Structure 1
Amino acid sequence: MPFVNPDQYTIRDILSASRTIAVVGLSDKTDRTSYMVAGAMQAAGYRIIPVNPAADDGSILGEKVYAKLEDIPEQVDIVNVFRKSEYCPEIARQTVAIGAKVLWLQQGVHSLEAAFIAESNGLTVIMDRCIKVEEALTRAHRNS
Structure 2
Amino acid sequence: MKSISEILHSARTIAVVGLSNKRFRPSYGVSEYLKRVGYRIIPVNPLEDEVLGEKSYPDLDSVPVPVDVVDIFRRSEFVPEIVEAAIRNGAKAIWMQEGVIHEQAARRAEAAGLTVVMDHCILKEHRRLAQAS
Please classify the TM superposition score into its range, dividing by the shorter chain length.
Answer: over 0.9
| Residue identity matched to 1:101 | K
Residue of structure 2 in register with 1:3 after alignment: none
8 Å Cα contact 1:15-1:138 kept in structure 2: no
The equivalent position to 1:101 in structure 2, one of 87, 92, 95, is: 92
Which sections of structure 1, spanning at least 5 residues, go unmatched? 1-5
- What is the number of equivalent residue pairs in this alignment? 133
Paired residue type of 1:73: P
How far residue 138 of structure 1 moved from its aligned partner, in angstroms, is: 1.8
**Alignment partner of 1:25 is 2:47:** no
**In structure 2, which of residues 1, 6, 14 is the aligned counterpart of residue 13 of structure 1?**
6
**TM-score normalised by length of structure 1:** 0.89
Corresponding residue for 2:82? 91
Equivalent of 1:121, from 90, 108, 112? 112
1:39 alignment counterpart? 32
The alignment's TM-score, normalised by the length of structure 2, stands at 0.96
- Which stretches of structure 1, 4 residues or longer, exceed 2 Å deviation after superposition? none
- Rounded to whole Å, the distance in 2 between the matches of 1:18 and 1:141 is 19
Aligned equivalent of 2:131: 140
Report the counterpart of residue 51 of structure 2 in structure 1.
60
- Give me the whole-angstrom Cα distance separating, in 2, the residues matched to 1:125 and 1:12: 13
Q: Distance in 2 between matches of 1:75 and 1:137?
A: 27
Q: Are the equivalent residues in 2 in contact too, given 1:91–1:114 (CA < 8 A)?
A: no
Q: Give the fraction of aligned pairs with identical amino acids, expressed as a percent.
A: 47
The alignment's C-alpha RMSD in Å is: 1.2
Q: Which runs of 5+ in 2 are unaligned?
A: none
Shift of 1:141: 2.4
Deviations for 1:117-141, whole angstroms, at most 9, x for unmatched residues?
Answer: 1011010000000000011112222
Indicate the structure (1 or 2) with the bigger Cα radius of gyration. 1
Q: Quick one: distance in 2 between partners of 1:114 and 1:38?
A: 23
1:74 pairs with one of 62, 65, 69: 65
